[in-house]
Structure 1
Amino acid sequence: MASRLIDEDPALAHEHALAASRRAGRIAIVRETLGITAYANEDFALALRELRTYRRISGKDDQIALMVDSERGIGRPDRALETGRAVDRSSLPTPVRVSLAIAMSGARLDQGDLELALGELEIPELDPDRAFEWSPALFAARAAVLEDLGRDEEAAFWAHRAEVAAEALGVDEAGDEELIVEDGLIEDEFFDVESSADGSAAGDSVTEPESADEDKGDDEDEVASEGVDTDALKPEPTVEDEVRELLGEIDADADAADSGTEATERDA
């Protein structure tokens, strides 16, 4: 129910998450769900508490960006930066690492350190010639900081990259258009995409920036230089998207349980 309601009624979704926590408070995904719905409702203190509990139970750092943002929401940018620095970024999945960089940049902005905010975004994934699910948000964050610095021309460049990447990624999801690089610029062009044996698209396509942790199991984000993993071409997830994806697992488990119950009743 939380996953079904999070978009239209975040407050009611949060009530369902609270109900789940009262019944199964020692299950990691329950505490994670409660933390995310609390964040969506801007109850940052509760979100931080629940996400810390989730991390303690699961041993995972995949919600570290929300934890950093929750510290910011409470008004503690110093603690936000400490929280972000406490994790090994090289061990994080690429989307999480990018989200953390954006959150850390925001904490620097909260402190009024514009140059340091810009520095937080200087990561390998910041490549204007390549677009992945995290690219629009990363490009837009850089554009915003540059605008605050008064570097309007550079800000316009990155804002345009963010718009092009977002549009192209959205079109690619439908399989109608491919994002390519021409003369160092991201451009859109219609052409037929042929699938290779591993499901990647053949042709002149956008590839993923190399990062230090590619050899540590981040294969799902790797794209060959002559192909693109279409699963990676998704818009940067919003908070609601993260909640919907996470809580979709709950719906799937519930549906599976209902099917099993119906089968048992038929057998009986």
Structure 2
Amino acid sequence: MAPLDFDEKALPAAVRAELRGVSADTAHIIEGHLVAAAELLDEDPALANAHAQAARRRAPRLPVLREVAAEAAYQAGEYASALNDYRALRRMTGNDNFLPVMADCERALGRPQAALRLIREGEAAGLSPSQRVELVLVQAGVRRDLGQRDEAVRVVRYAVKNLKAPTEATARLHYAYAEMLLEDGDTAGARTWFASADKHDPANFLDSQDRIDIIDGREPSGDPADDMIFIDDESEETDQ
């Protein structure tokens, strides 16, 4: 059930704008479900997904509700549901940036060839730099699932050397590369790239510093003030 008491201003203005075409009573119920979904997403993804789906059912033609439902289903591990909504959302908006997460849903559903087809579509599309990084990470995962680890490493290494992306996406890419190097026993290389990931992750979404501490034989501290080594990157691009 949607909460009766909530602050509508907690929702982004773009969401409230899309709901203007819905009756006031229905819009209020939808807004309650959306607020609940946002508040619950981290602590109870399944319940957050239930709220998101309830909101979508009341106005299924609104792209914003499709997107919320797709993201909540993905976080809850309901990959078939997420994929259906991402497909619909792509048709509604024409936005190819959903291709990486669609491919990841196919991967999670045990359909690697379907995932690779979507990845090829993504490679031919004009994805944003952040989404190109996501596409690379999904592709590497699919190749590993297929037992093609060398190809997975090649894909990530090429992206590290040639793909310029916003800082958070760069952090994820460098972290993935560091993990691959660590698996190969290259601890010095892994430390360098974990440090680079940490440099590009000022909000500390990743545990790069903890990984560096472990390599150095220290207890993970989570303290960003610990000594780190950085590599110098060329100038970064940002999403347009």
TM class by smaller structure: 0.5 to 0.7
Which structure has the highest helix share of the two? 2
> Following superposition of structure 1 onto structure 2, how do residues 224-243 of structure 1 map, counting pairs within 5 Å?
none
Counterpart check, 1:185 vs 2:231: yes
Match of 1:207 in 2: 235
**Percent identity at matched positions?**
33
One-letter amino acid matched to 1:185: I
One-letter amino acid matched to 2:203: G
Which structure has the highest strand share of the two? 1
One-letter amino acid matched to 1:55: R
- More relative contact order, 1 or 2 (CA 8 Å, 6+ apart): 1
Alpha-carbon distance between aligned partners in 2 of 1:108 and 1:151, rounded to the nearest angstrom: 21
Out of 165, 188, 203, the position equivalent to 1:170 is: 203
Q: Secondary structure at the match of 1:154?
A: helix
Counterpart check, 1:99 vs 2:140: no
- CA deviations 1:66-102 (Å, max 9, x no partner) are 1111111111222111111113456111111111111
Instruction: State the shift of 1:45 in Å.
Output: 1.2
Whether contact under 8 Å (2:175, 2:193) holds in the other structure is: yes
Q: Secondary structure at the match of 1:7?
A: coil
Match of 2:41 in 1: 6
Counterpart check, 1:132 vs 2:178: no
Out of 156, 165, 177, the position equivalent to 1:121 is: 156
Whether contact under 8 Å (2:178, 2:190) holds in the other structure is: yes
Alpha-carbon distance between aligned partners in 2 of 1:133 and 1:75, rounded to the nearest angstrom: 28
Scaled by the length of structure 1, the TM-score of the pair is: 0.59
Whether contact under 8 Å (1:128, 1:161) holds in the other structure is: no
Match of 2:59 in 1: 24
Match of 2:80 in 1: 45
Change (3 A) 1:144 1:112: farther
Change (3 A) 1:47 1:164: same
Q: Secondary structure at the match of 1:134?
A: helix
Alpha-carbon distance between aligned partners in 2 of 1:25 and 1:129, rounded to the nearest angstrom: 36
Alpha-carbon distance between aligned partners in 2 of 1:128 and 1:3, rounded to the nearest angstrom: 32
Instruction: State the shift of 1:103 in Å.
Output: 0.9
Counterpart check, 1:75 vs 2:121: no
Alpha-carbon distance between aligned partners in 2 of 1:57 and 1:162, rounded to the nearest angstrom: 35
Alpha-carbon distance between aligned partners in 2 of 1:44 and 1:150, rounded to the nearest angstrom: 34
Scaled by the length of structure 2, the TM-score of the pair is: 0.65
Alpha-carbon distance between aligned partners in 2 of 1:45 and 1:130, rounded to the nearest angstrom: 29
Change (3 A) 1:8 1:39: same
Match of 1:61 in 2: 96
- CA deviations 1:117-173 (Å, max 9, x no partner) are 12222455647999712111101111222334444443333223223332xx238xx
Number of aligned residues = 181
Counterpart check, 1:141 vs 2:206: no
Segment of structure 1 superposing worse, 101-110 or 124-133 = 124-133
Q: Secondary structure at the match of 1:52?
A: helix
> Following superposition of structure 1 onto structure 2, how do residues 240-259 of structure 1 map, counting pairs within 5 Å?
none
RMSD over aligned CA atoms reads 3.0
> Following superposition of structure 1 onto structure 2, how do residues 208-223 of structure 1 map, counting pairs within 5 Å?
208=236, 220-221=238-239
Q: Secondary structure at the match of 1:208?
A: coil
